[in-house]
């Protein structure tokens, strides 16, 4: 083929790569990945919800990271965005820009990771593109979900008097990244592995998000860090948030690290990549929220409140404001 | 922010870049680009049609290409895929991986190009992502359209007895790329500019595609080259195609080049990036198709026929098969 903008990869052409590794992942709407575009049905009374995230080798993951984990993380960060709107995941489209030097093994492992997560989350591949690049592996995924029209949970719905909640535990991924960079050498292997895994493989709250429809007033998934992401809710809702540091849910592994390095607790609130849900709801909803958490076996913790005003304040047990040094943008 | 997988770019952070350049492009479903995901409604009785394409600087466009043209080409190649299914374009999502060194000027021009094409094609931005990369500028766009359920035009519908049609003219982009590489120095400036423009700025047949619903049996947009793309129709439809070289529609500029280099005509059928539509239809539909072309002011030409069998054959005026040397995968 001449001048094809779609052709890429030396060892394996685009068509062969798609046929061998990606076509088996296609759902009915993907039309076997042999058409120009894919089809997505939407049930009457529902809306489709869409989000896209990109990941670059050396920036968002390490080139030597296991390809199946990279694939899963790429899918999961997008499913986390859908969950934050209260949407149930359905489909995804994928574009890959791969270095010529990348072998078929990498792509096979990558596709294997996607396949495993497709089963886990009940989604399928609709289509995409596969091109070559002289630069780092660059991946982009568009995820599609559904929500009953009008029930989508926005960032802008927080109201003074709401309580602030988070799912799961906070800060594990932040410590996990620190471990990958050589930090916390005194920590035992089991806890190290647990924390690294939380960084490499987030667990998007795909069941909790939709269960909070008509309960949560505002919701976001924590990717930039708890305080920063609550800041996004405050900004779009025109309110202030107070977060109580002692109320932050920490994993057993993170508590172990905090015992070794007491100052770390507050920094966990600004670490990113948690992919937990942060949401606000009326105080009367507290019992319902705890019930949903118990039913879905997802920890939920009340960590603060929404007030009139602006900005996010982190306070200690006495209500005194804590100032956390933001160490700035850091990737690998 | 710490460890943010969403933060990128040195001169301008992601949030500022999105707020300043991309938020003005967002449609109602994009929610001002301040939420985790976007909303897309689908009318009852319709399906959404989705496609994604990626472009890499140095592979699919030149780093020094005007950013507004790069943006338009990225959008248009996707709209072309929608048109090939008979779908009307509605929305798109965009992810950009941009080198730190890329200035705000580039992004501003890029967004300006998108804005102009949004108006031209009646689409809006739903969302996406913006990250940094140590490698070349890498862009991925997911386009969303709609089609009345069941009327989508597939590649697999061609039947023996069908006639083969193409829109517009074939091979201009192939020659245009050759000119950018220093070829055809004897050609006059006006024709050079016209051909280069056809390479840099395709015109997706967004009105012709949907107008062919219930008329075309199979359709594809020509990106890999006329013969290769007809080959995709033949493969999925389990038929053969015969293309008559003298029937290929050539632009005035391409005819000028062919006068200088007589052997080029056949090569135009394997050049890519035309972004014209190739489709098949029953012979009885010929008058209707010509009428649609006249109504939309889009040239349509009957170039061959579908037979039982497999593969694509290019024949001369006497029906003798021509063999075109495929010079292989070439990018910049």
Q: Tens digits of per-residue pLDDT, B298-309?
A: 999 999 999 999
pLDDT score for B173: 95
* pLDDT tens column, A168-181: 999 999 999 999 99
A interface mutation test: which of B74, B77, B81, B140 has the most A CBs within 10 A? B140
Residue A272 binned pLDDT confidence (cut-offs 50, 70, 90): confident
Nearest to A152 among B39, B219, B224 (CB): B39
Q: What is the pLDDT of residues B199-235, one digit of tens each?
A: 999 999 999 999 999 999 999 999 999 999 999 999 9
| Residue B40 C-beta-side C-alpha neighbours within 13 Å | 33
Per-residue pLDDT tens for B20-30? 899 899 988 88
User: Which chain B residues are closer than 8 Å to A331 by Cβ?
Assistant: 3, 7, 132
Read off the pTM: 0.91
Task: Decide: A128 and B52 in contact? Cβ < 8 Å.
Answer: yes
Alpha-carbon distance A211 to nearest alpha carbon in chain B (angstroms): 17
What does pLDDT average to over chain A? 91
The alpha-carbon gap from B128 to the nearest alpha carbon of chain A, in Å, equals 5
In the numeric block, the tokens 């070289």 are attached to B245
Contact yes or no for A56 and B31 at CB 8 A: no
Q: Which tokens go with A274?
A: 């948690």
Interface test with chain B among A4, A37, A62, A155, by most B beta carbons within 10 Å:
A37
Could you tell me where the DSSP H helices lie in chain B? 14-17, 67-84, 104-121, 172-180, 189-200, 208-211, 226-237, 252-260, 264-268, 286-296
State the pLDDT at residue B36.
84
Position A29 scores a pLDDT of: 86
Interface contact A85-B6, CB threshold 8 A: no
Determine, for residues A155 and B34 on separate chains, whether the beta-carbon distance falls below 8 Å. Answer: yes
Report yes or no: A251 and A259 within 8 Å, Cβ to Cβ. no
**CB-closest option in B36, B50, B97 to A37:** B50
Q: How confident is the model at residue B328 (pLDDT cuts 50, 70, 90)?
A: very low
Closest by alpha carbon to A93, among A148, A146, A51, A147? A51
| pLDDT tens digits along B244-269 | 999 999 999 999 999 988 888 889 99
pLDDT for the residue numbered B282: 98
- Per-residue confidence (pLDDT) for residue A324, from 0 to 100: 76
Å between A307 CA and nearest CA of chain B: 21
Q: How far is B136 from chain A (nearest CA, A)?
A: 6
* Minimal-distance CA residue of chain B relative to A131: B54
Distance (Å) from the C-alpha of residue B32 to the closest C-alpha of chain A? Answer: 10
Q: What integer pLDDT is reported at residue B33 of this predicted model?
A: 83
List, for residues B147-174, the tens digit of each pLDDT value.
999 999 999 999 999 999 999 999 999 9
pLDDT tens per residue, range A123-164: 999 999 999 999 999 999 999 999 999 999 999 999 999 999
Q: Helix (H, G, I), strand (E, B), or coil: what is residue B96?
A: strand
Domains of chain A: 14-148 (3.30.1330.10), 155-322 (3.90.650.10)
Q: At B187, is the pLDDT very low, low, confident or very high (cuts 50, 70, 90)?
A: very high
Q: Please, is B218 exposed, middle or buried when counting C-beta atoms within 10 Å of its C-beta (0-12, 13-18, 19+)?
A: buried
If one counts every other C-beta atom within 10 angstroms of the C-beta of residue B108, the result is 16
At residue B238 the predicted structure's pLDDT band, cuts being 50, 70 and 90, is: very high
From the list B6, B41, B270, which residue is nearest A223 (CB)?
A: B6
């Amino acid at each position: 083929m001449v001048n094809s903008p779609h052709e890429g990869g030396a060892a394996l052409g685009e068509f062969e790569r798609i046929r061998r590794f990606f076509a088996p992942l296609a759902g009915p709407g993907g039309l076997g990945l042999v058409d120009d575009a894919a089809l997505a049905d939407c049930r009457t009374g529902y809306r489709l919800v869409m989000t896209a995230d990109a990941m670059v080798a050396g920036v968002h993951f390490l080139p030597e990271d296991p390809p199946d984990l990279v694939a899963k993380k790429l899918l999961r960060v997008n499913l986390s965005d859908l969950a934050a709107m209260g949407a149930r995941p359905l489909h995804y489209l994928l574009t890959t820009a791969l270095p010529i030097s990348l072998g078929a093994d990498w792509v096979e492992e990558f596709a294997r990771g996607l396949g495993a997560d497709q089963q886990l989350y009940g989604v399928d591949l609709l289509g995409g593109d596969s091109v070559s690049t002289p630069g780092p592996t660059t991946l982009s995924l568009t995820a599609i979900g559904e929500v009953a029209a009008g029930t989508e949970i926005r960032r802008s719905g927080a109201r003074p008097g709401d309580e602030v909640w988070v799912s799961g535990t906070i800060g594990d991924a932040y410590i996990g990244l620190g471990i990958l960079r050589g930090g916390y050498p005194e920590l035992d292997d089991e806890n190290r592995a647990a924390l690294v895994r939380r960084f490499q493989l987030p667990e998007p709250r795909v069941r909790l998000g939709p269960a909070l429809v008509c309960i949560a007033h505002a919701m976001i998934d924590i990717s930039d860090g708890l305080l920063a992401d609550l800041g996004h809710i405050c900004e779009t809702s025109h309110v202030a948030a107070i977060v109580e540091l002692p109320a932050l849910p920490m994993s057993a592994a993170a508590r172990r690290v905090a015992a070794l390095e007491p100052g770390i607790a507050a920094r966990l609130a600004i670490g990113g990549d948690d992919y937990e849900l942060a949401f606000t709801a009326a105080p009367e909803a507290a019992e319902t929220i705890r019930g949903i958490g118990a039913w879905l076996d997802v920890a939920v913790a009340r960590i603060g409140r929404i007030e009139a005003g602006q900005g996010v304040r982190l306070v200690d047990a006495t209500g005194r404001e804590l100032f956390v040094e933001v160490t700035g943008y850091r990737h690998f």
